Each structure stands twice: as C-alpha cells, then as structure tokens.
A and B are shown apart, each in its own frame.
Chain A
Amino acid sequence: MAGCTLTGALSVACFIPGAVTVVHAPNGCAHQTFSMLHALMNEAETKIVPEILVSGLSDKDVIFGGEACLSQALDRAAEKHPELIIVVTSCVPETIGDDCLAVCREHAFADRTLYIPTSGFLGGRAKDGENAALIGLSTLAAPAESIPGTVGIIGEKNLESEVEENFAEVSRLLDLLDLTVTVRFCRNAGIADLRKLGTVSCFILRDGRCADAGRELGKRFNRPVIGEFPRGLSGSIAFLQETGKACGLSADVIAEAISKETEHQKMMLERFANLSESEVCLGVEPFEGTLAVAREALKRLGMTESPEGIKVRLPFYLPVGVSGTMKMLYLWRRAILHG
C-alpha cells in the first residue's frame, strides 16, 4: 500500500468498533483514506464504513495555529461517548507546530484518548503509520498469562481486497494444528478484544510490513512471533511447522497436520493436471517472493519455464497459502487454454 503515515494509521485505527478516530488535518487528507476504505468495503460487500472525524484545517488555521480545531474535534468525538478516541495527524499540524499531545492531554476525555503522532509523510510512509498505530494500540493491553491453543494475528492489511480470503486460509491451516485465532489486531475487534492481546500464546504477523510492531509486541508480551502469512505451497508446510513449534505443540501433532496439508495440496493441484508439460514464460516479478511461489507451483504441476513459452502473469500480491496459489493458477489456466 502506498501513501503516507496517515493512510497507514487509519487503515488500522478505523477497524476498531467502539472507537472514534479523529484526524487532525485538512479535510482533503481524510477524504483520501475515506474514499479508499469506501472502495474496498464495497468490493468486500461490506457497506458500513467507519467514521473519520476531521478537524478540517483551513488556510486561516495554518497561519494562526490549529490546536483549537483539534480541541473542537475532540469535543465532537467525546459527544459520541466512545470507548476510545484515537487521534492521528497529517503533515500540516506538524509543520505549523501544533502541540497535539498537549491538546489531547488537557482534554476532558484525556483518559480515553490515544494520541498516535503520525505526522503524515513527515513521520514516514504508510508502513510506518501502520506500525505506529499497532504499537500505540497495543498499550491498551496488559501483559497476561498465555492461554494454550490461542494465537493473535497482527497487522492484517485492512485495505487489501482479499483480506478475508487470506484470513480464511490461515485459519484453515491453524485448524489443522487445533489452534484458534482469539485476537485480530486490529481488524473489526472491539476494545475489549484488543485488551486480550497479552493472553495469546503466539503472534502471527501478516507480513514484513509490520515487523517493527511484531518486534515490539513480542518483547513486551514475551511471546514468539511468526514473521508472515504462509507463502505458497511449501510455505504452508513451513508455516505449520514453525507455528506448531512456537505454540509448544508436540512433534506428532505437527506431523499429522503436515500430512493432512500435503494431501490437501495434492488434491487441489489435481484440478490443474491438464497444464502438465505446458511451457510458460513468467516474466518480471512484480512483488518480491512471487517468483519463488510461481516456480514451485510450476514444478509441482510438471510445467516448464521458457522465454518462448506462453506468457502468464505473476500476481502483484504474494499468494497466501494454497488458496492464493490456486487463484494464480486459475489465471494461468485461462492464458494457457484460452490465449
């Protein structure tokens, strides 16, 4: 995901029911993210879009200061009696020198206000905003005893159109290990659920984008951290091994899960048996790691790679598990069989 820290932070903060997100920025900055959320919610056929309250900095405020605007925005947010107010900022208040932390601290709703100083692009890229929001929100949870058999997912890409499909694939694999996701941090999880973050026995990161948050959370709660969702076919097997070990499962349980998964993969690949011996050209890698996933699938199906082969496109996203690989193979099949 491209964009500044504001988009990144909002892509996390807007998915917490019971919280109100205040953006201290000109209206246009918030419109960008709101518009993106709207587009993706429609794709996911979820028509409810979270509310983003904007302080609406104008040309006058950039001259005379915008702290009063933020204070008024907090007043309006507090009128909704939310469980939590999350405040994020664009580059404009940072540049004009607004003391946003002081405004948040002095507000009547201070005890339920979480200030995340994102500062638009001055705070980095969207990835940095995501990490800042994840780390900031993790302070809501206290360290606790871990509950065996539970895992927490960290940093799902809420603006990814196939976010639920990827979660379903990871859940399917975890089910083979008899593990349950108890916290999706932060995707449609209420404040009470977020506070349970310390009780999971292991954290699974969506991918390397949220590595900073993963390091911080792992350290604070003293839990093992799995670095990313499974990549392709062999990645799914490795994921079972790594997660099983991290959750303290016995070697037998892990071996049984791997055996079931191996059978599942065999069965799924049979659908593409008619692609065997096809020659394809994979072209350039649009996203790091996709080429390795594609080459593995190619080999498993008995296909070969050649510059003269039928051109098939590599996905511009990293295929998650078997289900992600299948989506890639459907596109290949279309190209090979139908031109």
Chain B
Amino acid sequence: MDERLCVNPVWPCAMTGACSVLAGISGINVLIHGSSGCYYYPRSLLKVPLFSTYLLESEIVFGTVNRLREVVSNLSTSNKPIAILNTCIPALTGDDLSGAFPGGEGIFVDAPGFIGNVEKGAKIAFDSLGIKTDPSREGVNIDGVSLLDLFWRGNLHEAERLLSQMGIRVAVRFAKDSYENLRQGAALHTISVNPSYPSGIGTMLGSFLFPDLKETCANLADAFPDSDTEPVLEEWKQAEEQIFYSADKYLRKYEPPVVAVCAQESYAVFAKTMMERYFGSEIPVILARNSDAVSIPCETDLTKITRHIADCSPDLILGSTFEANAYPNAAFLGITPPDRSRVSISARPIAGIEGGILFIENVLNTLIDKASLKQKTNK
C-alpha cells in the first residue's frame, strides 16, 4: 500500500506554513492567490488579516493574472509591500504571474500545498523574503517563532527576557517582526525557541529549550564577550533544583509515567529529554509531525499514530488533542496544535527557563488530576 495514503492527516500543508511566516511580519499585506477554501483555513488558524484573490473556475480557464493584477492594484493603495502566496491550482496551470507586479514591489512565494508540509512552506517563505545578514547589525536573532506554535508568544517573551538579562540585544524575530526591521538585515548570530521552524538566517548558536540552554549560553558568551550569562545560568540551576524537588515528590507516591510523545521534532525531543531526566520515564512512542525530522520517525496519519499509542498503553500523552481524543485513557498535555483541551489565552512559554518549569508543572498537574480522577471512579 502506498505510504502517501493517509487517514485523518494531522499536519497542514506547505501553503499554510508559508502563510504563517508571512502573516507574522507586520507592514506587509499577505495575499493568497487561490480559492476561498485555501484562504479560509490559514485565516481562521492564524487569526490575522489576510487577503485573497478568491479565484473562481472561470479565472482558471482564462488565466489568473488579470485577477491577481486587479487585487494587487487595489492593495497597492495601502502603500505596503505585498507578499503573494501561490496555491495549488495557479501553480499547476503555469500562469506567468510576474506580470501582476507592474511596480516590481512584490514578494512572490511559490509554496503550493501539494509540495509538502508546513515546514517546507515556511522555509520557502523565508527564502523568498531574501533576508540577508549584516555584520554591522548588533545583537542576536530569535528564530523559531511561528504563529502556528501554541507557545509562540510565551517563547518570544521568555527569549527576550533571558537575552535582556545577558545584556544581548535582539536584532530580528523570525517570524514576528516588522518588515522594516527585516529589511535592515539580520544579525550574524541566531538562537531558536523552536528549531523545527528554521529560517536558515544567521549562524545558529543553539536552542533556548530548557535542556539545551546551558550550551547555548556558552555559545552566546563566546559570540558576545561583553555579555553576562551567569545570572541566567544561576536561574537555570535553581529552576532545575525546583523541578527535581517536585518530580521527586511525585515519584514518592507514583511510578514513573510511561509517555507517548507526538510533536514537531524539536518539541518531541525536548519532551522526551525532560521526562527521562526528571521522571525516569519510559518513552516507547516518539513521533514527529515534520517530515524532515532526522532523529525520530515522522507520522501524520492519525490512525497509525493511534495504533502506536494504543500498543504501549501510556500514562501520559504529550501531543495534540488529535491523539488525546483517539486514546482517552491517558492523561494529556498539549504541546503541539491543536490543543482543544483547554481555553488558552495567556502567553505560555515552552522554551527558556520558565518554559521548562511550566512544562514540568503542567505534566505534574495533569498526571495528578488523572490519578485522582481514577481513584474517584474506582470508589
């Protein structure tokens, strides 16, 4: 049977990934060159203003350039650069869309859905933006900020807080920044809050996920000799002591949880490392969402994911509510979208020191809640 056949695919397409990058950049208009169906999903997911050419069948027959030119012309009155995101059908019909930019002011992003998944589209969007590094630019770039990420706001705040403590300025945030700032060029060095969304811009000094933070601090200290990473390292040490204390207390009463992890590779490996280090957990299932994952297998067919999970009867699922609903016997903590298990409005981090603490705090609470529910049910 063909591996591409998929039941209930759990990860969006390349166009959505490209859109998530462009939508994070203020000062540009993002125009989806496609149908209302292609527009509607990223619009509802990203919750930011987007535009669309709302292509109709007749425009496919006679060519889409005129329609694109019409919408571009209307949008041009705002005096903002326009990022045009191509979708499956105009990409297939082979229209020469360059004629739609008479003024030449346009960013063309060719990431039709059929070429792959979110990460592929996001990378194409970054490449299309043509962002260059500038040796005169001070500070460090923050990478891996994606509007699709459950933790993007919290991660960004936490990374800015930690860098500020170290005395290092933030240059560009990929991708949550102004177009004007992007055009000034990026700094030479970059750190990431979610390495599964790489912009590929600047020399990567490491991730701010809790287990990686010490090493990244060392790299930052080398790259920025005037910085002071000591306060952050001290805070990290205290946080780890607190985490061990809380996990030890849990382990006095309960056995180490068996955990199934399904997320983008970076968060999945983070979750596995945290659960093994602080709880001594077994992790019989660890599956990536992103097809370019190198250290763990990728799976986006929900029936196959569910089979893997059911085979190991985990105590805890770290993933999305797709997995949680498919295997309701386990406790659940959302680390990848969608997480429909809770109302979430605040800026929660998973990266940085607070992200590490919050992750363990949530794991403990969800496990204890589940155990208490089981006790009540058994009575």
Residues of A within 8 A of B (CB): 2-7, 26-32, 34-35, 38-39, 41-43, 47-49, 51-59, 61-62, 69, 72-73, 75-76, 90-92, 95-96, 120-126
Contact = CB atoms under 8 A, between A and B. Distances in A.
Given A34-B8, A39-B338, A42-B325, A122 B57 contact: yes
Contact of A52 (B4, B8, B36): B8
Contact of A95 (B56, B89, B116): B89
Nearest to A33: B41
A4 B35 contact: yes
A178 B152 CA distance: 54
Nearest to A6: B37
A229 B8 CA distance: 32
Contacts of A122: 57, 60, 89
B55 interface: yes
A29 to B, nearest CB: 7
Contact of A47 (B113, B116, B328): B328
B2 A47 contact: no
A321 to B, nearest CB: 28
Task: Pick the most buried of B11, B15, B88, B302: most chain A CB atoms within 10 A of its CB.
Answer: B88
B124 to A, nearest CB: 13
B340 interface: yes
B13 A29 contact: yes
B247 to A, nearest CB: 30
B60 A95 contact: yes
A92 B92 CA distance: 8
A91 B88 contact: yes
B109 to A, nearest CB: 16
19 contacts: A2-B39, A27-B13, A27-B117, A28-B12, A28-B113, A28-B114, A29-B13, A30-B8, A31-B12, A35-B41, A42-B321, A53-B7, A57-B4, A57-B114, A61-B114, A73-B5, A95-B92, A121-B56, A123-B57
Given A38-B325, A52-B7, A121-B56, A72 B2 contact: yes
Of all A-B residue pairs in the complex, the 9 with the closest CB atoms, nearest first, are: A28-B13, A4-B37, A121-B35, A56-B4, A42-B340, A28-B113, A26-B114, A47-B325, A2-B40
A6 B35 CA distance: 12
Interface in B86-125: 88-89, 92-93, 113-117
Contacts of B116: 59
A300 B60 CA distance: 51
Given A27-B300, A51-B7, A57-B114, A125 B36 contact: yes
A56 B13 contact: no
B4 A121 contact: no
A109 B9 CA distance: 24
A31 B9 contact: yes
A41 B6 CA distance: 21
A95 B303 CA distance: 29
A29 B89 CA distance: 12
B1 interface: yes
B12 A32 contact: yes
A96 B93 CA distance: 9
Nearest to B87: A91
Contact of A28 (B2, B14, B55, B89): B14
A120 B13 CA distance: 16
Given A27-B13, A34-B9, A69 B89 contact: no
B359 to A, nearest CB: 22
A46 B185 CA distance: 49
Given A4-B37, A121-B36, A30 B57 contact: no
B212 to A, nearest CB: 30
B236 interface: no
Contacts of A95: 60, 88-89, 92-93
A123 B57 CA distance: 8
Interface string B75-95: 000000000000011001100
A38 B338 contact: yes
Contacts of A48: 325
Contacts of B117: 27-28
Contacts of A52: 7-8
